[in-house]
Amino acid sequence: MDNYYKIREFHCTTKAKHGVGALSSLADSIKELGGNKPLIVTDPGVVAAGLLEMVTQKLETAAIEYAVFDQVVPNPYIETVGQATKVYTDSKCDCLIGLGGGSSMDTAKGVGVEVTHDGNILKWEAAERDLERRIAPLITIPTTAGTGSEVTVWAVITDPDRKFKFNVGGPLMAPHIAIVDPELHASMPPHVTAGTGMDALCHAIECYTCHYAQPHTDAAALLAIEYCGKYLRRAVGNGQDMEARYYMAIAAHLAGVSYGTESAGAVHALTQTLGGIMPELHHGPAVGATLGAFMEYNWIGRPKKFRRVAQALGVDENGLSDHDACLLGAEAVYELAEDIDIPSLGDLGVKEEDIPLLAKEAANDPQTPGNPRDIDASGYEWMYKRCLGLI
Ligand SMILES: [Fe+2]
């Protein structure tokens, strides 16, 4: 139930510059933030795809000095952030460019915290304490259409000692400017487009249905769901389809806005804890493999909202009961995942014997309380079993 007797807050402090060719606004964006020498935080895949060069060309044309940290790994570690921070300070940088998918942008956010706060990123785990001041000026440039990290106020960092992915952030973490240019997405291979696109869809569905939802985030989430339903297949099928690329980029961005300053629900509790235990796991496919089961399990927690999700995905639910409409919404997600070749959790390496431990970890994740239906370890066991085809 919407709680309009409680005072809520909605922040969206990130300026978005979007459209085909938006990267051309980079040099002006740095000047706008008063920056002189950015550190570009990115990963080897972005370098190999020639995207780093597209960025550095813009800087060189504008005679802006820069430094590069290109060693971001998937599910970045505390140490990854520390290594990038060292390059920032050694190179006397004064602003940041996070270039890549969620891992690169989250690492850049982590550097933004470390250069403005005492201690390393671990000290600022959101469950332990709030950030004390605004992070260093940060421009985010997503090269995938998925995480929405260019606008979210969270970074997800892996602690290898605890085999746990923790969140850092809050309103002070918001990137200053996000440059969303679908031309940077054209080289994404189909399986990456598919996995990251399902992640965007999942953010929107989870944030729309979770207990933290509020009208501002609902508005963003619904359009994101609609765009994913309309454009994700096209973006996977034809990477050069710039209309599909643009609307998927905006879908991911709006889904990031729909995160607000709070969190998601069971899919992200499950996949984040799973990612902590299996660090080689890619987040997008894992989310895509789980979303249908999430909808089947959760619809009774918020039937009217899950019905609206089905509608946004193009389901004609006129005359149907909530039960039928909501389950057709789940079916639409299963079909989408199948059409774009999302692997199953079993294909991704999850085994039946691991389920009790994985379910227990998910139940303890700080994102679990936001889930639209009450859920404990037995609920997560149901979701895991459903994903492995055991029920
Ligand atoms: Fe995600």
Q: Distance, CA 90 to ligand 1 centroid (Å)?
A: 32
Q: Considering just the CA atoms, what is the radius of gyration of the chain in Å?
A: 20
Number of domains in the chain: 2
Q: Are residues 95 and 48 in the same domain?
A: yes
Domain end, chosen from 185, 205, 230, is at 185
- Examine residue 202 and state whether it is found in any structural domain, yes or no: yes
Measure the CA angle with vertex 148, ends 101 and 327; round to 5°: 115
- Tens of pLDDT along 139-158? 999 999 999 999 999 999 99
Examine the domain organization and report whether 175 and 203 are in the same domain. no
Residue ending a domain, among 185, 215, 242, is 185
Residues 168 and 209 in one domain: no
Give yes or no: residues 177 and 201 share one domain: no
CA of 259 to the centre of ligand 1 (A): 10
- The whole-number pLDDT of residue 1 equals 55
126 CA distance to ligand 1 middle (Å) = 17
Residues 201, 195 contacting (CB under 8 angstroms): no
The pLDDT value recorded for residue 2 is: 61
CA 85/CA 89 separation, integer angstroms = 6
- Burial bucket for residue 306 (CB in 10 Å: 0-12, 13-18, 19+): buried
- Give 252-271 pLDDT, tens digit per residue: 999 999 987 777 889 999 99
**Ligand 1 mean position, distance from CA 284 (Å):** 7
Please give the residue range of the domain that contains residue 253: 190-387
The pTM of this model reads 0.95
DSSP state of 125: B
Among candidate residues 153, 185, 217, the one where a domain is terminated: 185
Alpha carbon 13 to its chain centroid, in Å, reads 17
pLDDT tens sequence across 34-56: 999 999 999 999 999 999 999 99
Residues in Cβ contact with 251 at an 8 Å cutoff, skipping those fewer than 6 apart: 145, 197, 200, 201, 204, 223, 224, 227, 228, 231, 232
Indicate which CATH number applies to the domain containing 288: 1.20.1090.10
**Residue range 68-74: average pLDDT?**
96
285/292 Cα distance (integer angstroms): 12
CA 56 – ligand 1 centroid, Å = 28
Is the C-alpha dihedral spanning 43, 220, 182, 64 positive or negative?
A: negative
CATH of the domain at 121: 3.40.50.1970
Residues 293 and 337 in one domain: yes
Same domain for 107 and 233, yes or no, is: no
How far apart (Å, rounded) are the C-alpha atoms in residues 132 and 4?
Answer: 29
